Amino acid sequence: MASIAIASVPDYLLLGHSELLTATLTLGDGTIVSANKVTWAVTPASVATVTAAGILSGRSAGASTATASFQGASTSRQGRVVPDFSGPWTGSVSYLRCRGHWCGRHGEYQPGPGPIVLTLSQDQSSVSGAIHLDDYSTGNVTGTIALDGTLTLQGIYDPRDAYGWIVNPLVDWRSTVDSMGHLVGTFTLGEVDTFQVDVDLTDVHH
């Protein structure tokens, strides 16, 4: 045998999901064959685990390294475990505080707790989608997932109020999936008059 190579390690593995790893051997004459008796290992074990059969499972967000060994030869490949933020999320928002000239002057600038729907699609560590606040307001968001699993979103939120012209930036959205199907986080709404907002969402697919 001349060398061993890992044939299938995902660059991104969703938290709570599993994939089968495979490896190939390149013999001295250049022939490539499947490696059926490879010893698998992955580090750190807090991020991912792998069985003797090569089933890789994501345990927590972070970077991991999978290693295949066979008869004194070994090779490694790196990957990431990321939370699954895709799908529709429903829940509630809590407006913590308002800062700005208009805060406290008009009722519409002091909203109470209300509903929220967040519909996201995910491609590896990139996320995009739409947000609906208080049953009538809409917005679009895009963002990325950090190595520690924190999702950061930015976007534009349109309250569609009676004046018909207020459009607020939605910034600094930071959220995590603290358990399967449960998302919590905070974001800032507005530019001149700003609200600090808490969110608590449940994935409707769970």
Note the pLDDT of residue 162.
43
Note the pLDDT of residue 158.
65
**Is the distance from CB of 95 to CB of 195 less than 8 angstroms?**
yes
- Evaluate if pTM is beyond 0.85: no
Note the pLDDT of residue 65.
96
Q: Is the dihedral of CA 26, 30, 32, 35 positive or negative?
A: negative
Strand-pairing partners, residue 6, are: 23
Cα separation of 199 and 55, whole Å? 35
Note the pLDDT of residue 191.
59
- Residues counted in the chain: 206
The CA-based diameter of the chain, rounded to the nearest angstrom, is 81
Cα separation of 97 and 30, whole Å? 67
Cα separation of 160 and 129, whole Å? 19
Note the pLDDT of residue 153.
85
Note the pLDDT of residue 31.
77
Note the pLDDT of residue 67.
95
Note the pLDDT of residue 3.
83
| All structural domains of the chain with their residue ranges | 3-82, 87-203
Among candidate residues 154, 159, 150, 157, the one with its CA nearest the CA of residue 171: 154
Query: Is it true that 3-82 and 87-203 share their CATH fold?
Result: no
CATH topology for 3-82 is: Immunoglobulin-like (2.60.40)
Note the pLDDT of residue 109.
46
The ranges of the chain with pLDDT < 70 are 1-2, 95-113, 134-137, 157-172, 178-180, 189-196, 204-206
CATH architecture for residues 87-203: Beta Barrel (2.40)
